[in-house]
Amino acid sequence: MIVVGSATRDVLVTAKGFEVRQHSDSPTGEEQCFPLGSKIELEDIVMTTGGGGTNVAVTFVRQGLKTACIGVIGNDVVGDEIVTELAGEGIDTNFFQKHSDDYTAYSMILVHPSGERTILSYKGEGQHFNAKKIPFNDLKAKWFFLDSLGGHYDLLESLVNHAVKNDIKIATNPGSRELAHGLEKLVPILIHADIFICNQEEGAQLVGVDFKDGDSVLSKLRERVKGMVLVTNGHAGVRARDTAGFEYSAGVPDSPVVERTGAGDAFGSGFVTEFIRSGLIEKAIKFGTANASSVVTKFGAKAGILKKGEWGEWPLVEVVKKKV
């Protein structure tokens, strides 16, 4: 597995002074607030690594897949720490790009006691991917997992072309900057994707339908994507459609939530891992959900990622399969 995506330093903080208020102008209807001009004492602070690329790479390597990760870091201590941590997991980091004109990407994550959080994200070097620095002749794998590429369409196109030419399967959970290119520009990419993953809000925006219309999101994406489509929807779980005309749906287990950072990455990478291993969509959904459920019980996106042979301590979800 070769993963291409974002790499960040994540700093998670909690405090009693973080208050949630209803606000009609907020995209989510709620806002996390604290008094302007005040000093708030933090209860806890956790420093770890994050970014979709590194998060999914850790799932793959812990599940026994030979894994390389390609990301962009700055010429700074934070970037060196990210690479060191990934190498310690057994991930090949030789393809990482290092630039010196910006800082390594950085996220400050304000965690509310409910487990929800607000992320203050500095993209930094993560938006400076350079397709010309990718040694394509050395990229030999059975699968690519393409995550956030900083919006660089040339890189996305080059990776897909390389995969098609070399019979490499493609799983992708594109970032917001990739999705911002729009459906028509992404069609040449989607027609080669074996597994396409997004959340329902992202999918609705991409295909131009109402967020609540999950059926249309799935059907319109399935029309454009070569392989299977998975659409996650937070507490409501996941729905998937395969190439044979079947739909699969599952909820989430009643497990405790400390904070939700990395849950989507854990589900997507868990699903892909088990699908590679068994070829069974139902089992892949169960493992992806188990991986995500484990991740949300701990601070940070990686601490709860399951190791090979583990399925977590919570009951496995029921997967419903039907013909559409």
Between CA 109 and CA 104 the distance in angstroms is: 16
List of E strands, the chain? 2-4, 8-14, 19-22, 30-33, 44-50, 68-70, 72-74, 97-99, 106-111, 117-122, 143-146, 169-172, 195-199, 228-232, 238-241, 246-250, 320-323
CA dihedral (183, 184, 185, 186) positive or negative: positive
The two structure tokens encoding residue 28: 């989510």
Between CA 55 and CA 59 the distance in angstroms is: 7
Residue 155 DSSP class? H
CA dihedral (33, 36, 41, 45) positive or negative: positive
Q: What is the pLDDT of residue 133?
A: 93
Q: What is the pLDDT of residue 29?
A: 80
Structural element, H or E, at residue 87: helix 77-89
Structural element, H or E, at residue 61: helix 52-62
Beta bridge partners of 74: 99
- Which domains, ranges and CATH numbers included, belong to the chain? 2-18+43-323 (3.40.1190.20)
Structural element, H or E, at residue 275: helix 263-278
Q: What is the pLDDT of residue 260?
A: 87
Q: What is the pLDDT of residue 301?
A: 95
Q: How far is CA 290 from CA 52, 66, 196, 254, 284, in A?
A: 18, 22, 20, 11, 10
Closest by CA position to 266, among listed 287, 291, 239, 296: 291
Tens of each residue's pLDDT in the chain, 324 residues: 999 999 999 999 998 878 888 888 877 788 888 888 989 899 999 999 999 999 999 999 999 999 999 999 999 999 999 999 999 999 999 999 998 889 999 999 999 887 788 899 999 988 899 999 999 999 999 999 999 999 999 999 999 999 999 999 999 999 999 999 999 999 999 999 999 999 999 999 999 999 889 999 999 999 999 999 999 998 899 999 999 999 999 999 988 888 889 999 999 999 999 999 999 999 999 999 999 999 999 999 999 999 999 999 999 999 999 999
Structural element, H or E, at residue 154: helix 153-165
Q: What is the pLDDT of residue 235?
A: 86
Type of residue found at 32: Q
CA dihedral (243, 246, 247, 253) positive or negative: negative
Between CA 160 and CA 143 the distance in angstroms is: 11
Cβ burial 9-23 (10 Å sphere, 16+ → b, else e): bbbbbbbeebeeeee
Helix, strand, coil % in the chain, rounded to nearest 5? 35, 25, 40
Q: What is the pLDDT of residue 101?
A: 85
Q: What is the pLDDT of residue 107?
A: 94
